[in-house]
Structure 1
Amino acid sequence: MADVAARAGVSLGTVSHVLNHPERVKESTRLRVQDAIDALGFVRNAQARSLAAGENRTIGLVLVDLGNTLFVDIARGAQQEATACGMTLLLANSDNDDALQDVHLDFFEGARVSGILLAPMTDPRTGVDRVRRRGTPVVVLNYDAGRPDCCTVLVDNERAGHLAARHMIDLGHRRLAFVAGRDHLQPVRDRRRGVRRAVADAGVELVEIPVGDLSARGGPAAVAQLAALPAGRRPDAVIAVTDLLGLGVVQELGRAGLAVPGDIAVMGCDYDKRAWGGSVPLTSVRMPGEEVGAAAVRLLVDEVSAPGLHRHETVVVPPSLVVRESSAGRAPAPTDVG
């Protein structure tokens, strides 16, 4: 700013007025200062300005996996709500790496953001403890950390599993397979609980198929286990814990000469748009990511605005069923009646 003032032949205060209150400056002076700004390539440091004013209108968002479209939707909802609240959103992707997640948390702390939104896959206790000790508000998304010192926004994953199983049961299936990994991932555990509850209530059979890879690469292993079952125990419907895994199952069944859903119905459970490009459109459970992101920003802004009055809470957003061809079959083409 001093360089701009010297080049334009004005005081530092005049440059400040041009930047912040241009209506107070004569047009000729304003143009002279603007010419100096353009010539020098001056860009003011918004972060330093916010810190000098004793406020920062920036939120940090750390997501576990931007490859998964659920987290893209969360980011979109958070961005839209932050903009509506007059805040700026900074985004970081931890890429399923807990150490990188901690690096991002420390970076946002160093940047003195107003607060942090964190969407982890595993327990983020250490990183959140460190941030909370320094007094920075944190909202945890898509993971129930059971913390009384910060807000949480969740998708009801148990309901997602229940919706999936109930859909297959309502279609008339009586032997369901649930294909998933281990329960150390909270969404897997919760969806399994929902599937088991629906199956128990309906009195149908459940076969649980463990796989180590929840992407499409897990499909062949899942189908191999299904094929190895005795004929009387083979399922007539498969619920995959993720859409990518569901896509892998559909592809492998096709290679084995089985029709979906004619021979066996298949669906996913996490509304991941990466899995929607297959030859058989995949039934899934919609995870309302944009609503999760927006709700998290609202909670964070409330805490930042009135820290003494804010009460931490857990918001649970319900999922919904999206029926496509992989479970319900292809809709018949319309016919003309003449």
Structure 2
Amino acid sequence: MSGMVGGGAGAGRGGARRTSIADVARLAGVSQGTVSNVLNHPDRVTAATRERVEDAIARLEFVPHGPARSLAAGAMRALGLILSDLTNSLFVDVSRGVERVAAEHGAFVLIANSDTDLARERQYLANFEATQALATLVTINDASHYRTLVAQHRTARPLVFLNYHGVSDAHCTVDMGNREGGRLAARHLIGLGRRRLLVVGGPLELQPVADRVAGFTEEARAAGLDVMYDHVDELHRAQGWALGRRIAPRVLAGEVDGVFAVADLVAAGIAQALSATPGLTIPRDVGIVGYDDNRAAWDSPTPLTTIRQPGEELGATGARIAFEEITDPTHVHRSITLDPALVVRGSTVEAAGAGPV
């Protein structure tokens, strides 16, 4: 179910006056038309104005008419789910987990895609809280986003963060053991006899990226190995390809024999570039490990060894603790970490019967 429209003044249950769009406009210092645009056409409003209106919506707990009013009246139970990137199969898995648990509780899920944009995350959080969704679950990876959303949240309804481990004792968080995932990747490569290791990171302000790099580096150093480091600006296949072309001479020279990339898309690009290099063979000359076990790992010309994240269980766990917070007055906020798993494929180990690398 989707769609949120502006509403006017009215009476709530018991005759109490319901907050109106005029109240929101007055508090935000804008016209009612601007409030309606924020709710229905946010692209037509400047970021500063949108922020003022969202703040007023949250403070007044404004509930628009239409489907949202049905939710507020208790006719429909819903969880709000804000996902970072619906083109990434990981977040599709997360949504499945949330939907499964919501269905067990007779609830629906309202899904929004933020593309990791903070303004959109704030917009959707304000809208879900205005519709009086039972709880909001949001996937994030940036500490500044976490602080902003925590500060914005002013209702008693649960706000649960997924794919992130936070420090606030006012909210539950569920993450997927990214530091341990980095350690698993290092153990695998080292166990195969790889000693000249390169870790390919991305924007280190992203918590999962920083944790994966840290875990890999810690495990390698514990084995007495130094780690080379390179990075990409964005976690895309094209950037992996460019980096693969750049490091190919080092692989041919024997300077690099193991690569860990913090995302499968990057690892797939690296593998494609190295595979196209004359005289270089994967995994004979270099082993490559990615992270996520998404479609890039399955469909890569060289199937990628990767670290699998329990996306569906992440969503299900987040939904369970949201319902626990809704129904259990003794609920205590906590951080939960799920275990990743190593999936071995042809980018590090030759096909069965081909013999050891």
Range into which the TM-score falls when normalised by the shorter chain: 0.7 to 0.9
| Residue 67 of structure 1, CA deviation | 1.2
Q: Residue 337 of structure 2 corresponds to which residue in structure 1?
A: 316
The alignment status of 1:74 with 2:94, answered yes or no, reads yes
- Aligned with residue 285 of structure 2, among 263, 283, 293: 263
Moved more, 272-281 or 234-243: 272-281
Equivalent residue number for residue 213 of structure 2: 192
Tell me, in whole angstroms, the C-alpha distance in 2 between the residues paired with 1:302 and 1:144.
19
Secondary structure at the residue paired with 1:62? strand
Q: Which position in structure 2 is the counterpart of 1:219?
A: 240
Output the TM-score relative to the length of structure 1. Answer: 0.80
> 1:91 and 1:72 mapped to 2: Cα distance?
11
Residue 302 (structure 1) shift = 0.7
Structure 2 CA distance for aligned equivalents of residues 92 and 286 of structure 1: 24
Counting aligned pairs with the same residue, the percent is 37
User: Aligned letter for 1:114?
Assistant: L
Please name the residue that 1:97 is paired with.
117
Question: CA distance change for structure 1 residues 130 and 182 in 2, over 3 Å: closer, same or farther?
Answer: closer
Q: Which amino acid aligns with 2:222?
A: D
Please list every run of 5 or more consecutive structure 2 residues that lacks an aligned counterpart in the other structure.
Answer: 1-65
Q: 1:42-53 alignment to 2 at 5 Å? A: 48-53=69-74
Is 1:301 the counterpart of 2:331? The answer is no
Q: Check whether the contact 1:242–1:272 (CA below 8 A) recurs between aligned residues.
A: no
Distance 1:255 1:228, change over 3 A: closer
User: Is the Cα–Cα contact under 8 Å of residues 47 and 56 in structure 1 kept in the other structure?
Assistant: no
Shift of 1:48: 4.0
Query: How far apart are 1:232 and its partner, in Å?
Result: 6.7
Q: What per-residue deviation string (whole Å, max 9, x for no partner) do you get for residues 176-217 of structure 1?
A: 110112311111110011101110111123111122232111
Secondary structure of the residue aligned to 1:276 is helix
User: How do residues 127-138 of structure 1 correspond to structure 2 at under 5 angstroms?
Assistant: 127-131=149-153, 133-138=154-159
1:173 to 194, 205, 221: 194
Matched position secondary structure for 2:198: strand
Q: For 1:331, what is the secondary structure of its paired residue?
A: coil
Unaligned runs of 5+ in 1: 1-44, 334-338
Alignment partner for residue 236 of structure 1, among 244, 251, 257? 257
Q: Are the equivalent residues in 2 in contact too, given 1:215–1:244 (CA < 8 A)? A: yes
Larger Rg: 1
Paired residues of 1:181 and 1:212 also in contact (CA < 8 A): yes
2:136 to 112, 116, 122: 116
**Native 8 Å contact 1:74 1:291 kept in 2:** yes
**1:88 maps to what in 2?**
108
- Deviates most, 143-152 or 220-229: 220-229
Q: Distance in 2 between matches of 1:328 and 1:228?
A: 22
Please state how far the C-alpha of 1:228 moved relative to its aligned partner.
5.7
Aligned to 1:25: none
1:64 CA drift (Å): 0.8
Structure 1 230/161 Cα, relative in aligned 2: closer, same or farther at 3 Å?
closer
- The offset of 1:233, in angstroms, is 6.6
Quick one: distance in 1 between partners of 2:137 and 2:73?
24
- SS, match of residue 342 in structure 2: strand
Alpha-carbon separation, structure 2, partners of 1:180 and 1:300: 33
Q: After TM superposition, give the deviation of residue 220 of structure 1 in Å.
A: 3.2
Residues 227, 234 of structure 1: 8 Å contact kept:
no
Is the 2:81–2:137 Cα contact (8 Å) retained in structure 1? yes
